[in-house]
Structure 1
C-alpha cells in the first residue's frame, strides 16, 4: 500500500506547525537562535510576502549561494510557499561556474552571503555583474545575465546594488494574508520547486528539476527509515545546497516534527559541540566528516551519548569507519543511504534494525514506493540476484528532467520511466544492494575488470590506513594500472612497499595497486564527493603518463 504524502512544501510546514507548534524547529546554538515550528512557519510566511513585494512570481527561478545559514532554511520554504523555484548554488563555485548556473537556470534573483573559504562572493558577483553597483535595486540590467533583476544580501549592511535580507520582511508588510493565500491555492504538488546542479564531475553541470512531490516524499521516507519522531534532534553539518542537506536533513525533520540543528560550515569540533549542547539524537555526514570528528583531539571530551541514528552517505562508506561510528559515537542505528540528485536523492537505505553485517556491507534496499532493478550493461535486460549490472530506479522520486536539456534527460530516463544511475551494483535475493563502482570508474587492466570499491574496502583493514581512494591510470602495456591515494593515520609512517606487501597473497595480483601515493587530502566537491577524475589527472601529470593515455 502506498503511503505517499500529497503536500506542497509550504503546506507540509503548515501541517507540522499545526501538529507540533511548540516543538523546536530550527536551532543554531552558536547564534542563540531557537525557533519553534509555529515561529518558523510564521517567519517563512513573512519572507514569502517580502518576495511577492519585490515582484517575484510563481515559477520564477531564485538562486541561493550560501553556507548553512538560517536564512537558507527559511528561503527553502518561503520560496516554495509562492511557487518560486529555489536554485541551489555550490558553495565552492568561482566566477565562471556562478555565471554558468545563473545563466543556464534563468535566475531572476540571487541571494548570497559575504563569502566562503577563499572566495569573496560579493567581489565575485561584482565581477560577473559589473552593472550591479550602479543600478538601483530591482532595476538591474545585466548584458550577460538578462534574467537577473535582484541581488539580496544575507547579512547586515547590503553592498551597493543589493537589498539587505532584513528589508524583505518589512517590504512584505504591504502584502495581505489573502494575497499570499491566493498564491498558495494556485500551487500544485507536481510543479518544480527546486533545481540543483549536479556536481559536474564530468561535463557541464546539469540543472536537476525536482518537484514538491519528489522532495516531500523522499524526505518523509528517509525520516521513516531512521524512525524519526517529534522527539528527534538532527545535527546537519552537510551542505544545504545539496540534497543531503536540504532533503535528507531539513525535510526528514520537517515531515516528522523533528528539530534541525545545522552547522554553518563543516568543522569537526563544531559538530561535536552542537551534538552535546542540543542533545542531538542523530547526525548526518559523508565518511570523511565522521573520520574527522572521531580523529579530532577533543573527541573524547564531548558527550555524544544521546546519539542514536543518522546517515552516512555521499561516497562509499568504509566498513571500519562504520563500526567506529556505531561504537565510539553511540550511533547504534546509523544508516546508509544511496542515491543521486536526480532521484531526490534517496533510492535505497539500510534500516535501523538491519543486522550490522547488512548495514556495513550494503546500501540497503529500496525506499518505500521505490522500484529498483539491476540491468545488463550491454543488453539492458533485468539481471537475477547476485549478478552485477547498472542500477536503475523508478517511482515518485525520479526528477522531472534536466532544465533545458531534453537530450540529456532522455539519456538518463528511459521510455518506461526508469532512471539509469550509471552506477554498478549487485542485488541479493532480499533486495539489498551493494554498489560496486561507477560504470566510468571501472578500471580495465589487461582485459580484467577491476572495481575500485573492492580494493578500497580491503585496504581499509590495514592498521595504518585512515582513508584510501583507488582509481585507474593509463598504462601502455595493460591499458590501465591500479593506483591508490592513501591517507595514513596520525603519528604513524608507512611505505609504498608496506601497502603492496599487505595485498600480496590476499587479493589478486592484477588488483594490487601498481602505484601508491600518500596524500593529506583529496580533491572534493563541496558536497563531500571525492573527485577521482582529478586524482587521475594529477597522477598523469606527476607520473608523466601522457603518452600512455593517448596510446
Structure 2
C-alpha cells in the first residue's frame, strides 16, 4: 500500500523563543563590529552596533509620537535602510508593522489604511512614477485613524530619529518586558486575484523562526553577505532576507530601491555577496543582460529562488552560469511566514532544480484531496497543506476568511496543487484555480511551461486557459523571446511541441510579449492575462457560456 503524502520536519535545532527585537540585541552584542547593512545606492553602511542604535532611535522616536503596543504603523516605501529601522523598531515597541505595496494606487492605499486602522504612516516621498505625497493627501480625509504621516528624508523624519536618540533607553527595556514572542507584529496584504487583498497577520514567533530556518537551510554564518533585490514589503525581503541575515549575524546588501538587474549584479560583484535572492523573472532578467559575462560573480555560493514556480532550465543556468552551486528553492506563501519547504545544498542537481524540496524544520506538510481533506498517496496530485509554528494568526479582522483558509485542525490550505514523491520531495504542479480543463482533460500549465523553457528561442513562458465553445477551454502561451531570436508563430510553436506533448497540451494560441503583468512580488497575474486574451482573440461569446 503506498505511503501517504505526509511529512514532518526535523526538530534537531530548537525553535527560537525570542522576540525580533531581543534577537537583534543578542546578535549586536555578539558581533557588534561586523557589517550588518549596506545600501548601495547611497553608499551608506552600518555595523550591527550602529544598526541597533538606529533601530532603537527609530523605536523611541515612534514612542514619542504616541505609538503604543498593538498600534498599527504603516510603511510605504521601496527598499532602503530606513525600511529596516522601521521593521525592527516597531518590533521593539510591540507595534504592528503594516507593509504597504509600493505599487498601490490611491484606491488600494485607502483600503489598507482603513482596514488595518493605521495610526502612523512612514512613507517615501515618491517612487518611480508614484507621487506618494499627493496620493496620501488625496486619501487622508477618508482614513479617520491616520494620525501622523512621516515622509522619509523630511525634517519630521530627522526629528523623529533625533528625538529617539535623546530619549531614555530604559523605555525600550520597559517595553521589552511587556512583549511576548506570540504577539502579532506584522500585517502583510496578500495580492488576491479578485476582490480586496487580505491582511495576513504574523507574530514575532512566525517571522523570526522562519527567517532563521531559511538561513539555516542556506548555511548562513556571519561570513555571508546576502544581496536582497526582492521587495521588503513582502516576506521574501523582510523575512527571508533581513531576518535570515540578522539571526545569523550576516550582512544585508540592498542593491537598489527597486529591482534593477544590472544594479543587482553590480552589487554582488562590488560587495562580494555570497548569496543572491530573486523570483524567477529576476534571475531571467539578470541572465539576459548583454554584458552578463562581464560581471564577477565568483563570490556567490548560495541564494534563494522563490515567489513563483521556478523553471527547471532557469535553475540549471543559475547553478552553471552564476556559480550558485548551493542555491536553494523555497516554497511557501505569505500566510505561512512564508516558507514551508526548501531544497538542501546536499540534494542532487535534479532534485534541487525540479522540486521545491522537503518539509522545513518543526512543520508538518501533506498533500490532500481538495474536497475531502483526506491525505492522498505519494505520487498523486492534491492540495498542498501545512501546519505548525509558521501558520499566521489569521487575516486581520476577517474571521470568516481565516476559517476558510485554516481548517479546524490547524492545516493551512494553500490552493496549490502538489505531488510528493517517495523520498518526501514536493513538486508544485499548479494552482487549483489555474488548472485548465480542456475537453474533460485536466491540464496543469506548469508542466507545459517547463517544456516551453526547452525551446532555444524562449526566455520565459506562461500558459493560461482561455474560453472555447467546443472544448470549454483552450491553451494559450504568452512568450518572451531571447534577445535577437527570430519571430515565433503559433504554428511553429505547435510544430516544436508535436510529438513531445499530448495533443491536448499543445497551446492553440501564442502571444509574444516583452513582459508579463506582474504583482510587485513577482507573481504573474494570470487573471489579467486571461482578460486581455479574451478581448484580443474575440472570445467574449465563449466566455459568456455558463457551465455547471
TM-score with structure 2 length normalisation?
A: 0.96
Q: Following the alignment from structure 2 to structure 1, what is the Cα–Cα distance between the partners of residues 304 and 520?
A: 18
Q: Which of the numbers 136, 150, 154 marks the counterpart of 1:152?
A: 150
Q: What is the correspondence of 1:401-550 to structure 2 with a 5 Å cutoff?
A: 401-493=394-486, 494-550=488-544
Residue 9 of structure 1 corresponds to: 20
Q: What is the correspondence of 1:118-197 to structure 2 with a 5 Å cutoff?
A: 118-129=129-140, 142=141, 144-156=142-154, 164-173=156-165, 175-197=167-189
Q: Which of the numbers 350, 363, 384 marks the counterpart of 2:377?
A: 384
Q: Which of the numbers 91, 98, 102 marks the counterpart of 1:91?
A: 102
Q: 1:30 is paired with a residue of what secondary structure?
A: coil
- The two structures, once aligned, show a CA RMSD in angstroms of 1.0
Assess if the C-alpha contact under 8 Å between 1:29 and 1:277 holds in 2: no
Assess if the C-alpha contact under 8 Å between 2:39 and 2:80 holds in 1: no
Residue 74 of structure 1 corresponds to: 85
Assess if the C-alpha contact under 8 Å between 1:269 and 1:298 holds in 2: no
Shift of 1:546: 1.3
Residue 29 of structure 1 corresponds to: 40
Shift of 1:361: 1.0
Q: 1:76 is paired with a residue of what secondary structure?
A: helix
Shift of 1:360: 1.1
What stretches of structure 2 of length at least 5 have no aligned partner? Answer: 1-10
Q: 1:100 is paired with a residue of what secondary structure?
A: helix
Shift of 1:29: 2.9
Q: Following the alignment from structure 1 to structure 2, what is the Cα–Cα distance between the partners of residues 200 and 167?
A: 37
Q: Which of the numbers 291, 294, 310 marks the counterpart of 2:287?
A: 294
Q: Following the alignment from structure 1 to structure 2, what is the Cα–Cα distance between the partners of residues 29 and 361?
A: 33
Q: Following the alignment from structure 1 to structure 2, what is the Cα–Cα distance between the partners of residues 32 and 173?
A: 23
Q: What is the correspondence of 1:38-437 to structure 2 with a 5 Å cutoff?
A: 38-129=49-140, 142=141, 144-156=142-154, 164-173=156-165, 175-263=167-255, 264-437=257-430
1:476-535 Cα distance to aligned partner (Å, 9 max, x none)? 111100110011111011222111101111101001001111111100001111101110
Shift of 1:174: 5.4
**Greater relative contact order (CA < 8 Å, ≥ 6 in sequence):** 2
Q: Following the alignment from structure 1 to structure 2, what is the Cα–Cα distance between the partners of residues 421 and 495?
A: 36
Q: 1:379 is paired with a residue of what secondary structure?
A: coil
Assess if the C-alpha contact under 8 Å between 2:457 and 2:482 holds in 1: yes
Q: Following the alignment from structure 1 to structure 2, what is the Cα–Cα distance between the partners of residues 260 and 172?
A: 24
Q: 1:155 to 1:353 in 2, by over 3 A?
A: same
Assess if the C-alpha contact under 8 Å between 2:186 and 2:201 holds in 1: yes
What stretches of structure 1 of length at least 5 have no aligned partner? Answer: 130-141, 158-163
Q: 1:472 to 1:121 in 2, by over 3 A?
A: same
TM-score with structure 1 length normalisation?
A: 0.95
Q: Following the alignment from structure 2 to structure 1, what is the Cα–Cα distance between the partners of residues 541 and 145?
A: 45
